[in-house]
Structure 1
Amino acid sequence: MMVWSLQALLFISALSVVSARIFTDEQVSKLETFVEGVMKCRQIPGQTVAVVVEDETWVRGFGLADIEQGVNVTKDTLFGIGSLTKAFTTTLLAMMMDESNGSITWTTKVKDILGPDFAFVDEERTGKATLRDLLTHRAGLHPAKYAISAGFPQNFTLAELQKRFRYLPEVHSFRDVYEYNNWPYALIGRIVELLSGEPFEVTLEKRLFKPLGMKHSRVLGKTISANDTGMAKPYYNVENKLVLTDPSVYDIHPLDAGGGIASSAEDMAKWMHFLLRQGVTEDNVTLVDYTTLVEVFKFHEYMPYGALASKPKYPVMNLEYGYGYAWYLSVYKEYNVSMHTGELNSYTSYIKLYRDFDIGIFVSESGPGSTYASFTENLISFYISDILLADEPWLNVSTACSYPQPWGTWLSTLQNNSDVTNTDVECLDCYIGKYGHRLFGDVDVKKGPGASLELFYGRLRGSLNTTDKEATFKLDLWEPFRFYARPGNATMLVEVIFHGFNNGKYSFVVFGYPHTMTFTRGISFYNEIIFTTINPEISGQGVEEMSSFLLVFASLCAAFSILY
């Protein structure tokens, strides 16, 4: 305890030096050199940084928002912030709780808000699940990331999602384990809609963006597109070339409440100030009661992902150990941190709050989206933290470019096409046809050139390559998701398995990771919905076969918190 007190005193002493201007001219020069050097070696087209200390703000744009037009990133350039959106959604929910005069709390049952017609996949969840279960990723439901990528019809609303939520399968026992999931936050978005009486994006604008002066922030797919003026254009490293990605893949409705916000360094600085003021605006208006807001930063769920860096292997410790409500709990060196990552295809973002010392750091980049660059924003936050902590930075441009070397090692280039045979498909008619799911949508398997097959699933489409296993294929995605299949110099194909052979045709097609999704012949997303519980085998639990590569990649994403 004495050690911590001494460290706190030293920190406060250092803080008094930087609070007036945050950084000295020399520190600014070193920080800019560091960021620009890391951007160059990691092929980052555009990046934005915001730092707040007490009432002071420092913001900078780096690189290009539009390579083709030569447009620079500024403090007002918008970036997709991915899962950093979740904290906005949770704050809106907290505001609704305050207004409910105690009738709604974090432990209120979901069905008590959504009504008796609402249901999860089983009676236990339907009867017991609370807002806390949704917020802490412990509901045990299918993450179904490919369904989000495939997209939904434009007229598919949160109200419709509420009706179909019973078709989201379970993958774990209720409250058994933590597994990150965007779908429960979409349901929180629906709850915010019901309690506010307005669409989620309207409530977000009225209740947070406008009062905080976040005048540039928008919702992707609703109030702005990724290729609109003011956005940092999203680039991805595809086959070792930086490619502008299709703006349509950044519309993730109806899951906007889980990852749809586009914001700028200037606006995110205002957001961090608001959080560090404990729910009070710059104009001294309380938007959410402190006793309600503080709950989002508390430990509510153990998170077993471990450390991005730890002693003695690394010079410092950076340990993530728990989850609150849309905030990870971590320790950098000996300091408590509230943080979150956000990943939406090309965009990668990071927010870090040292709440004990009124410090906030935000970093966002517009590419290149490959795993190699995915933790760059973390490294920049480390460098900034060290300056504010009055410590000698343990990273320089050289080690940040080689990271995790010289301390650790990185996986060799990932390839999972060694089992591809590319032979003619026997019995094309056995596979051809439409397969559906009540929530995830429809898959259409068609005849390709010669004796080959092609798969069409919303925005996900590509060729089905034969493998050395019967009825097992590798999906090689085309545009607009070519970057899934060819990130950097890797090859990442999706395993697709057909099963349930009956009367000359397969009944089911399954794919996805870390849990497979099952689509059934004869069922369609567009059929009239019959509100019943689901056979687990048909819902996506029946087949859990994955290549060793997919297991490695899923674990990798978890380790570095590569999230929506």
Structure 2
Amino acid sequence: MLINTHTSPTFQCPTLIRFFVFLVIMCISLDKSNSVELSDWQDVSNSDIQKFENMVRTVLKCRQVPAASITLVKNNVVLLSKNYGYSDPERQISVKRDTKFCIGSLTKAFTAVILSKILSEHPNVTWETSVKSILGDEFRLSDDLRTDMVNIEDLLAHRVGTPAYFNALLVGFPEEVTRLNLIKRLRYMPAVAPFRSKFMYSNYMYTLAGHVAEILSGKSWETLVNEYMLTPLRMSSSGFITDRSDFKDIALPCALKHGKLVNLNPILLHSVYPCGPAGSLYTTSDDMAKWLLMLLNSGKDMFGNQVFENNILEETFKPMMPVPFPGQDLLKTKYPISDVQVSYDLGWVTSYYRGYKKIWHSGGITTHSSRLWFYPDNNVGIFAAVNGPQTREKTHAMRTIMSYASDILLGETPWLNYSTICTFPAPWAERHAIKEPVTVKRVAGDLRTRAPRELVGHYYHLGFGEIRVHFGDGGALILRYGRFGKMFLHQEKGLEFSGKYFGPLWFITDSDDSVQSEKIRFVRRGMRISGLYFYVDPQYDPSFFRKGKMPKVWSDPFLRTENQNCNQTSSAETINAVLTCAFGFIGFTLSVTL
């Protein structure tokens, strides 16, 4: 995709966003019932909690979710902190009180609060301070505009215009790629939207934000999380999954195949490396109770100690980008209640659930998923995490658990019952059946005949790493990408192939609700194969990997020289200059579709 550099970027105006938020709030507030004032004083009975626990067990069973960790707090009291189900789904080994779950992108709020705290201690640095002024002239993104103007707020608000490029994280960056190495690679990850014009979720930008915190503080991001949060809040059972070499007290990730739960290799949880600031935390229900109590109590811990000044937290709740996740809202035109997004903030989303202001975020890593919702005006907080599988049914399970919990804590009559908690989104909307994988017999020996040997070799992209293609046993053509990515390539037509993962990531293309093959297209230029296209982000054009071994690019002279060769070329220049950058030695700052 070529971006017209003559188009001026749309700069978000905070006044306009706040006006938009005001209009949405006025509309949504009509859904708020007359019982709101009473619910503020209404106690949650033991019977309510028992009904909720029965609901959780029912949802886990009917949705085939093996385990859950739940926390409920209200009025500075922990009403429930408990785990359910099996931490080892295959062997049906029950969870324990201290069984840990990965919380994925709930980590982003920790990163945002850390930066808010650091900025409060650095009067010369603000949210609007450019990243380049902090990191120095060697810092670059995909073009000069973003390089010069991107600020801390842009990173946390997901408004840089760079896509998620999630598959590079899915397969796992090599262990030798440090956080600093990855940040140097950002210049080779093409942006696809004008700067500050569109919400585009990016774990890489949160990794960059974490690095900014490291530079400003002189400490690692992990040290900052420990010193600012885990230690003062006594979250002693929480930590960083990338630091773990054993997983005996971690709920095992799992997949569903033909209706049967299958354990996955927990080393896949390390795929978040080196993007720790975007999603590397694991925790327990007890520890998340402490985090929720602090958020709801203006920065004070459960003992009344001031861990963060309230203004530090409030800075992370300010609206930045409107309606970040279209399609996820529940509207009263279809459902019994409304649950409507207003804005993405800094590591948080603001919504209105049944007229109540809700601040929340979701998280996911491998097949672990998490949700945290809290209602600041009602002193209500809810946390839930599960260990899999990666199906739509799991997503529905999370929403029904969070919604039912919200209703009982807010004093509202639950809109879900013991039937609809298992059928949602039905009867209000279509509930899609789970797609099961189909086993297709292929003749491996035939692949060697149809797939030319010239496809074999190394392919690289300076932003996304190296791919290796080779023949395996029996003549099967195999593609390897990252630490964990291995797939069989099956020729569809000419140089077009489909890919099915095997090894640790088998479930991505061969489990219930995950049956779509990857698409790979080799490129021939003249008499030789010059590269291949691979979808690093399935929502956008595939990325071109040049044939050849990954060059040693991390010396400063190389970065300066080669980055200037391409990044200073704009899309307004001649097509010859564009193609030089797209297919030259360092290439691929621009994503060109042929």
Does TM, scored on the shorter chain, surpass 0.5? yes
Secondary structure (helix, strand or coil) at the match of 1:397 reads: coil
Say which is worse superposed, 206-215 or 383-392, in terms of deviation.
383-392
User: Could you tell me how far 1:527 is from its partner in structure 2?
Assistant: 4.9
Q: 1:430 is matched with which residue?
A: 454
| Residue 295 (str. 1) matches residue 315 (str. 2) | yes
Aligned pair count reads 537
Alignment identity in percent? 29
Q: 2:67 is matched with which residue?
A: 46
1:280 pairs, out of 297, 300, 310, with 300
User: Could you tell me how far 1:307 is from its partner in structure 2?
Assistant: 3.9
Question: What is the CA–CA distance in structure 1 between the aligned matches of 2:215 and 2:502, rounded to whole Å?
Answer: 39
Secondary structure (helix, strand or coil) at the match of 1:186 reads: helix
Deviations 1:37-73 (A, max 9, x none): 0100111111011011121002121112234665433
| Residue 79 (str. 1) matches residue 101 (str. 2) | yes
**1:463 is aligned with what amino acid?**
F
User: Could you tell me how far 1:230 is from its partner in structure 2?
Assistant: 2.3
**1:400-411 correspondence runs (5 A):** 400-411=421-432
Deviations 1:481-514 (A, max 9, x none): 0110123165221111122433322333322312
Question: What is the CA–CA distance in structure 2 between the aligned matches of 1:419 and 1:66, rounded to whole Å?
Answer: 30
| Residue 381 (str. 1) matches residue 430 (str. 2) | no
Question: What is the CA–CA distance in structure 1 between the aligned matches of 2:425 and 2:73, rounded to whole Å?
Answer: 28
**1:7-156 correspondence runs (5 A):** 10-18=35-43, 23-57=44-78, 58-67=80-89, 71-100=93-122, 102-156=123-177
Deviations 1:339-376 (A, max 9, x none): 11111121010010111111111011111222221231
Q: 1:318 is matched with which residue?
A: 339
- In structure 2, the CA distance between the partners of 1:157 and 1:453, relative to structure 1 (3 Å rule), is same
**1:303-314 correspondence runs (5 A):** 303=324, 305-314=326-335
**1:539 is aligned with what amino acid?**
F
Question: What is the CA–CA distance in structure 2 between the aligned matches of 1:125 and 1:154, rounded to whole Å?
Answer: 28
**2:502 is aligned with what amino acid?**
W
| Residue 519 (str. 1) matches residue 545 (str. 2) | yes
Question: What is the CA–CA distance in structure 1 between the aligned matches of 2:461 and 2:31, rounded to whole Å?
Answer: 58
Contact 2:73–2:289 under 8 Å retained in 1: yes
Secondary structure (helix, strand or coil) at the match of 2:360 reads: strand
Deviations 1:71-98 (A, max 9, x none): 4334432101010000011111111111
- In structure 2, the CA distance between the partners of 1:431 and 1:488, relative to structure 1 (3 Å rule), is same
Deviations 1:101-153 (A, max 9, x none): x2121111111111121111111111100111111111111322111122123
Question: What is the CA–CA distance in structure 1 between the aligned matches of 2:92 and 2:450, rounded to whole Å?
Answer: 51
Contact 1:485–1:492 under 8 Å retained in 2: yes
| Residue 169 (str. 1) matches residue 169 (str. 2) | no
User: Could you tell me how far 1:401 is from its partner in structure 2?
Assistant: 1.0
| Residue 234 (str. 1) matches residue 253 (str. 2) | yes
Q: 1:269 is matched with which residue?
A: 289
Secondary structure (helix, strand or coil) at the match of 2:128 reads: coil
Q: 2:212 is matched with which residue?
A: 191
Question: What is the CA–CA distance in structure 1 between the aligned matches of 2:229 and 2:102, rounded to whole Å?
Answer: 17
User: Could you tell me how far 1:306 is from its partner in structure 2?
Assistant: 3.9
**1:182-221 correspondence runs (5 A):** 182-221=203-242
Secondary structure (helix, strand or coil) at the match of 1:214 reads: coil
Contact 1:301–1:322 under 8 Å retained in 2: yes
- In structure 2, the CA distance between the partners of 1:3 and 1:169, relative to structure 1 (3 Å rule), is closer
Contact 2:31–2:355 under 8 Å retained in 1: no
Contact 1:305–1:321 under 8 Å retained in 2: no
**1:498 is aligned with what amino acid?**
F
| Residue 539 (str. 1) matches residue 576 (str. 2) | no
**1:319-358 correspondence runs (5 A):** 319-358=340-379
Question: What is the CA–CA distance in structure 2 between the aligned matches of 1:171 and 1:64, rounded to whole Å?
Answer: 42
Contact 1:77–1:264 under 8 Å retained in 2: yes
| Residue 461 (str. 1) matches residue 486 (str. 2) | yes
Q: 5+ unaligned residues in a row in structure 1: which ranges?
A: 546-564
- In structure 2, the CA distance between the partners of 1:536 and 1:10, relative to structure 1 (3 Å rule), is farther
1:442 pairs, out of 466, 483, 487, with 466
Deviations 1:159-217 (A, max 9, x none): 22233322222122211211111100011111122222222212211221010111100
- In structure 2, the CA distance between the partners of 1:180 and 1:45, relative to structure 1 (3 Å rule), is same
Q: 2:380 is matched with which residue?
A: 359
Contact 2:507–2:514 under 8 Å retained in 1: no
Question: What is the CA–CA distance in structure 1 between the aligned matches of 2:158 and 2:251, rounded to whole Å?
Answer: 30
Deviations 1:494-539 (A, max 9, x none): 1111224333223333223123232111250645552133435742
Q: 2:11 is matched with which residue?
A: none
Q: 5+ unaligned residues in a row in structure 2: which ranges?
A: 1-25, 567-580
1:245 pairs, out of 251, 260, 264, with 264
- In structure 2, the CA distance between the partners of 1:408 and 1:420, relative to structure 1 (3 Å rule), is farther
Length-normalised TM-score, structure 1:
0.89
Say which is worse superposed, 381-390 or 510-519, in terms of deviation.
510-519
Secondary structure (helix, strand or coil) at the match of 2:466 reads: strand
- In structure 2, the CA distance between the partners of 1:304 and 1:502, relative to structure 1 (3 Å rule), is same
Contact 2:88–2:251 under 8 Å retained in 1: yes
Question: What is the CA–CA distance in structure 2 between the aligned matches of 1:193 and 1:383, rounded to whole Å?
Answer: 40
Question: What is the CA–CA distance in structure 2 between the aligned matches of 1:190 and 1:46, rounded to whole Å?
Answer: 34
Question: What is the CA–CA distance in structure 1 between the aligned matches of 2:592 and 2:423, rounded to whole Å?
Answer: 39
Contact 1:417–1:492 under 8 Å retained in 2: no
Q: 1:548 is matched with which residue?
A: none
